[in-house]
Chain A
């Protein structure tokens, strides 16, 4: 573990913070709107309607786990985690950060343990859309860091202590110097993760599961000239973690470990003029993964140019260009692997009247390591009222996924003849929302969503053993996924009291529709690791400076054999959080106490990888705000 480096960085950041704090306190004149300070450092979850202040201090894994559309697969706290959307596997959705794809071109998915929760303040889950390109067999998860500066100066830094040796230091510091906005965010965390679990009738403690991570991100935003804006981010990270053995092993003969290091940088220029809106993004990232003695290195240069034209009063057109260059080296590849990937999408939007949207799209992509990529189409019809509080939308979208570099080139076993996976998805979405202002200080929000989908996936890639038991991928299956997502939110707020609850339910039917032999019992069976039913419930009660949040999650059984004869038990877990806001002259302190898995359910999200039982976290955050 790189203790020295992390400690040095922590000390450096502490000094910087103290320096900023001292300077700020001297110049501070009066206390300001503390509530705004709190909101800016929280995550706005568009997939969820709970007041955003309820999402603070929640790690990203737990945030995703609570979304009924998503299924989180995680080895343990802080360990490798992936998310599956709407009944597919984690490689079949794209995770975007400010519009740039984060899925690794090497293994095809996003390890969500590499995203600290305080680095994003906007999360959205959406149906496949051609403007974002390929890779969205099931859809997209958009995470954004936005420059929402309500004032000139916000310092928000805190510490969190938790069970099993968890210590984290987090900070979100925002400054505005004239027209230049700056964000400095950090997250330093370590944990022993040696939590107890039961295996059979015996008690064990998780072994070889400690982790340390460090993230630092600097953002800047300023107008270049009238109607032209520039945003830029640089994000450095390192996550050093041990990989625990499967359950029930007392003396693991070998200790697996993984070190992730990387940089993500992004430049975004936006220009708005009479003829068109321009949005240009250019991102460079480098990720290094050391798994035991194996080195994997991926450099990515990704670019997007989005142009939106207003052709006529009722007609607009969007042109979306993408160019990605990837260079990968791995101890498991035969030489360097390079991919140049270009994509062009066009979407035309026709509004015959203010209450009808018709959007048609076409997409074509090219990649130097693929023979012919499919030509995709999409069509969407939305009918809504003028305020868009009642929406009915039907859509059809095609998409595909290029096999990952590991699928193609892994030695041994990679298959360079793999074809792309294809999807044809139909969606029906119904949205309803209303606001009732009872009086000047009292407001009621009601929101309801219902969406149904059907997704046909062909050339589904599966790995199976080949010669001398070396595993190799091939395009084996057809899969049909159908599902239903529903969500209802009710919220009321007045001067002293805030109350909201949200109930979500998802039904997912994800079945293999091809048979490889007459004895193959996987035909028409639910895919492994896809729960049929998922229910989540959250509520937040706030009274003056106190807040109480309760959340519960039910996940039904998940099959782990393709004939559906073996499964993981369903689980029902709940978390509770009590928060107190203290105001002291120019400062505000958030104190949070969280009890996670409070009735101590034994559960796993991956077979034989026990998750922690009852555990607690206590957090203290210091906030200063200046207009």
Chain B
């Protein structure tokens, strides 16, 4: 029939015009620059890596171009161990283990629920925090398999529980517990079944940074500008100082050091000035971004601060190089969707 023939014709046309071609992999040399982790859009499988070298040359979509496969859905964090990068891909439930210099994939850790971050006990064992499941998985680094799991009870609803950011301090591991809104301290020798200490943060844990024997932790009240700042002595995990900051700003709170000065970001960047029993926030920069999503500073690149902009979270974002102490924009780089973390590669 004529109609059948028409359909066949269009079908054949479509087939021949849209056939997928295998792309050749590319070799990268990722040294002396910034590695940008672009989360991607939830459920779109479009997380990517970008690299900006010291000359300002940018390479986007590095992981896929190096391995001819996509990174996955919602890249959460990267941890570095030896010459390897461990890229935690939250909604794909996996960690991609790559050579940091070229992002060539060597192993994949699978079977994780909703991994957020990986932290290394030593060369053989690592721990992965999971959101939703209130679970920490132990990874055997010789075969990249889960060797043990430590679950905690969830006092709230399923989606309100989970472990998030981690920092290893000596033989201790400090982890944000979202369900109890606390900082839980585990000791490697005593195991991860029960924390040796749990520090109540009152609000949802937001960020933490370690410097000179102290952990600086912030927790934020949902949809409010109210924020708690804790200065915790890691030698015995005691709260040395605690401040409530009622006007910290409501967008994503990040805590970081520039030199010896502690800073907190919301939609603006503020320097924390300690005045005995209170703190004062001094605004050092109003970047006027739509969605300030990530901040990085490294003493190895002391003249610059780097900010990332996620815009409306469904389009490619930007990374800005900012000159300090002037806090003026120097350069702009278009990266992938939702750039959330910026890492410095030697």
Interface flag for B313 (CB, 8 Å): yes
Interface-side segment among B42-50, B79-87, B191-199: B42-50
In the assembly, what is the distance between CA of A516 and CA of B289, in Å? 9
CB closest residue in chain B, given A469? B252
- Given A519-B309, A521-B316, A561-B316, check contact A467 B93 (CB 8 Å): no
Known: A252-B93, A293-B157, A541-B1. 5 other contacts (CB 8 A): A254-B113, A254-B114, A467-B222, A554-B10, A599-B8
Interface flag for B311 (CB, 8 Å): yes
Near A by CB (< 8 A), chain B positions 289-346 give: 289-291, 309-316, 318, 337
In the assembly, what is the distance between CA of A292 and CA of B158, in Å? 9
Near B by CB (< 8 A), chain A positions 486-508 give: 501
Near B by CB (< 8 A), chain A positions 458-514 give: 462, 464-470, 472, 476, 501
A560 CB contacts on chain B under 8 angstroms: 41, 44, 46, 314
Tell me the minimal C-beta distance from B331 to chain A in angstroms: 14
- Given A247-B45, A254-B113, A468-B204, check contact A528 B314 (CB 8 Å): yes
Interface flag for A249 (CB, 8 Å): yes
- Which residue of A253, A464, A519, A565 contacts B114 across the interface (Cβ within 8 Å)? A253
Interface-side segment among A21-29, A215-223, A298-306, A566-574: A566-574
A520 CB contacts on chain B under 8 angstroms: 290, 311-312, 315
State the majority secondary structure of interface residues on B: loop
Interface flag for B75 (CB, 8 Å): no
Near B by CB (< 8 A), chain A positions 222-275 give: 246-254
CB closest residue in chain A, given B178? A468
- Which residue of A252, A561, A608 contacts B315 across the interface (Cβ within 8 Å)? A561
Tell me the minimal C-beta distance from A155 to chain B in angstroms: 35
In the assembly, what is the distance between CA of A476 and CA of B291, in Å? 13
Interface flag for A439 (CB, 8 Å): no
Interface flag for A348 (CB, 8 Å): no
Q: Which 10 residue pairs across A and B have the least CB separation, nearest first? A: A563-B315, A517-B290, A253-B113, A253-B93, A599-B11, A562-B315, A572-B14, A562-B314, A607-B44, A608-B45
- Given A468-B252, A472-B223, check contact A607 B158 (CB 8 Å): no
Pairwise interchain contact B113-A607, C-beta atoms closer than 8 A = no
Pairwise interchain contact B316-A246, C-beta atoms closer than 8 A = no
Tell me the minimal C-beta distance from A557 to chain B in angstroms: 11
A550 CB contacts on chain B under 8 angstroms: 3-4, 7
In the assembly, what is the distance between CA of A522 and CA of B314, in Å? 9
CB 8 Å contact bits of B238-270 with A (1 = contact, 0 = none): 000000000000111100000000000000000
Residue in B3, B111, B113 whose Cβ sees the most chain A Cβ within 10 Å: B3
Question: 26 A-B contacts, Cβ less than 8 Å apart?
Answer: A246-B43, A251-B110, A253-B111, A253-B112, A253-B114, A254-B114, A294-B158, A331-B157, A413-B223, A464-B291, A464-B313, A466-B250, A468-B253, A476-B312, A517-B309, A519-B290, A520-B290, A520-B312, A521-B315, A521-B316, A522-B312, A528-B314, A561-B337, A571-B14, A601-B14, A607-B46
A562 CB contacts on chain B under 8 angstroms: 312, 314-315
In the assembly, what is the distance between CA of A607 and CA of B18, in Å? 18
State the majority secondary structure of interface residues on A: loop
In the assembly, what is the distance between CA of A467 and CA of B114, in Å? 20
Pairwise interchain contact B220-A467, C-beta atoms closer than 8 A = yes
Interface flag for B22 (CB, 8 Å): yes
Pairwise interchain contact B157-A539, C-beta atoms closer than 8 A = no
Residue in B309, B312, B313 whose Cβ sees the most chain A Cβ within 10 Å: B312
- Given A469-B252, A560-B41, check contact A200 B4 (CB 8 Å): no
Interface flag for A591 (CB, 8 Å): no
CB closest residue in chain A, given B42? A471
Interface flag for B16 (CB, 8 Å): no
A462 CB contacts on chain B under 8 angstroms: 312
A470 CB contacts on chain B under 8 angstroms: 222-223
Interface flag for A412 (CB, 8 Å): yes
Near B by CB (< 8 A), chain A positions 587-614 give: 599, 601, 607-608
CB 8 Å contact bits of B180-210 with A (1 = contact, 0 = none): 0000000000000000000000001010000
Tell me the minimal C-beta distance from B71 to chain A in angstroms: 11
CB 8 Å contact bits of B144-160 with A (1 = contact, 0 = none): 00000000000001110
Interface flag for B70 (CB, 8 Å): yes
Tell me the minimal C-beta distance from B285 to chain A in angstroms: 16
Pairwise interchain contact B311-A519, C-beta atoms closer than 8 A = yes
Tell me the minimal C-beta distance from B268 to chain A in angstroms: 14
Tell me the minimal C-beta distance from B317 to chain A in angstroms: 9
**Interface size class, chain B:** 35 or more
Interface flag for B132 (CB, 8 Å): yes
Near A by CB (< 8 A), chain B positions 1-52 give: 1, 3-4, 7-8, 10-11, 14-15, 18, 22, 41, 43-46
Interface flag for B96 (CB, 8 Å): no
Interface flag for B73 (CB, 8 Å): yes
Pairwise interchain contact A517-B311, C-beta atoms closer than 8 A = yes
Interface flag for B234 (CB, 8 Å): no
Near A by CB (< 8 A), chain B positions 43-95 give: 43-46, 69-70, 72-73, 91-93
Tell me the minimal C-beta distance from A595 to chain B in angstroms: 12
Interface flag for A201 (CB, 8 Å): yes
B3 CB contacts on chain A under 8 angstroms: 501, 539, 550
The total of interchain contacts (Cβ-Cβ below 8 angstroms) comes to: 144
- Given A253-B114, A608-B43, check contact A201 B158 (CB 8 Å): no
Near A by CB (< 8 A), chain B positions 261-293 give: 288-291
Interface flag for A161 (CB, 8 Å): no
- Which residue of A294, A468, A574 contacts B157 across the interface (Cβ within 8 Å)? A294
Tell me the minimal C-beta distance from B44 to chain A in angstroms: 5
In the assembly, what is the distance between CA of A599 and CA of B14, in Å? 10
Interface flag for A47 (CB, 8 Å): no
In the assembly, what is the distance between CA of A250 and CA of B108, in Å? 13
- Given A293-B158, A466-B251, A565-B315, check contact A200 B70 (CB 8 Å): yes
In the assembly, what is the distance between CA of A521 and CA of B317, in Å? 10
A294 CB contacts on chain B under 8 angstroms: 157-159
Interface flag for A552 (CB, 8 Å): yes
- Which residue of A293, A467, A537, A554 contacts B251 across the interface (Cβ within 8 Å)? A467
CB closest residue in chain B, given A470? B222
In the assembly, what is the distance between CA of A437 and CA of B142, in Å? 82
Tell me the minimal C-beta distance from B113 to chain A in angstroms: 4
Tell me the minimal C-beta distance from B291 to chain A in angstroms: 7
Tell me the minimal C-beta distance from B277 to chain A in angstroms: 26
A569 CB contacts on chain B under 8 angstroms: 18
- Given A201-B22, A572-B14, check contact A466 B223 (CB 8 Å): yes
A293 CB contacts on chain B under 8 angstroms: 157-158
Pairwise interchain contact A465-B314, C-beta atoms closer than 8 A = no
A601 CB contacts on chain B under 8 angstroms: 11, 14
A517 CB contacts on chain B under 8 angstroms: 288-290, 309, 311
A554 CB contacts on chain B under 8 angstroms: 10
CB closest residue in chain A, given B157? A331
B310 CB contacts on chain A under 8 angstroms: 465
Tell me the minimal C-beta distance from A199 to chain B in angstroms: 9
In the assembly, what is the distance between CA of A251 and CA of B94, in Å? 10
CB closest residue in chain A, given B14? A572
In the assembly, what is the distance between CA of A550 and CA of B6, in Å? 11
In the assembly, what is the distance between CA of A567 and CA of B43, in Å? 14
A251 CB contacts on chain B under 8 angstroms: 93, 110-111
In the assembly, what is the distance between CA of A251 and CA of B132, in Å? 17
B73 CB contacts on chain A under 8 angstroms: 246, 608
Tell me the minimal C-beta distance from A220 to chain B in angstroms: 43
In the assembly, what is the distance between CA of A184 and CA of B111, in Å? 48
Tell me the minimal C-beta distance from B35 to chain A in angstroms: 21
Tell me the minimal C-beta distance from B181 to chain A in angstroms: 11
Pairwise interchain contact A572-B11, C-beta atoms closer than 8 A = yes
In the assembly, what is the distance between CA of A599 and CA of B250, in Å? 52
Pairwise interchain contact B315-A522, C-beta atoms closer than 8 A = yes
